[in-house]
Amino acid sequence: MLSKKTQYALKALGYLAGKYGQGPVLISEIAKNKKIPIKFLETILLELKQNNVLESKKGKGGGYYLIESPKKTTLAQAIRLVGGPIALLPCVSINFYEKCKDCNEATCGLNKAMLQTRDATLKILEKKTLAELIDG
Partner DNA sequence: TAATAGTCTATTGTTTAAGTAGACTTATTT
Partner DNA sequence: AAATAAGTCTACTTAAACAATAGACTATTA
- Residue 11 sits in the site that holds its own copies (CB under 8 A): yes
77 binds its own copies (CB under 8 A): no
Q: Is 4 in the site for DNA (CB under 7 A)?
A: yes
Assign 3-state DSSP to the chain and report helix, strand, coil percentages, each to 5. 50, 10, 40
Number of residues that bind its own copies (CB under 8 A): 40
Rg from Cα positions in the chain: 17
Site for its own copies (CB under 8 A): which residue of 26, 38, 67, 103? 103
CA 92, CA 128: separation in Å to the nearest integer? Answer: 21
The rounded distance, in Å, linking the Cα atoms of 10 and 15 is 9
Binding interface with DNA (CB under 7 A): 3-5, 8, 24-28, 37, 39-40, 42-43, 45-46, 49, 56-64
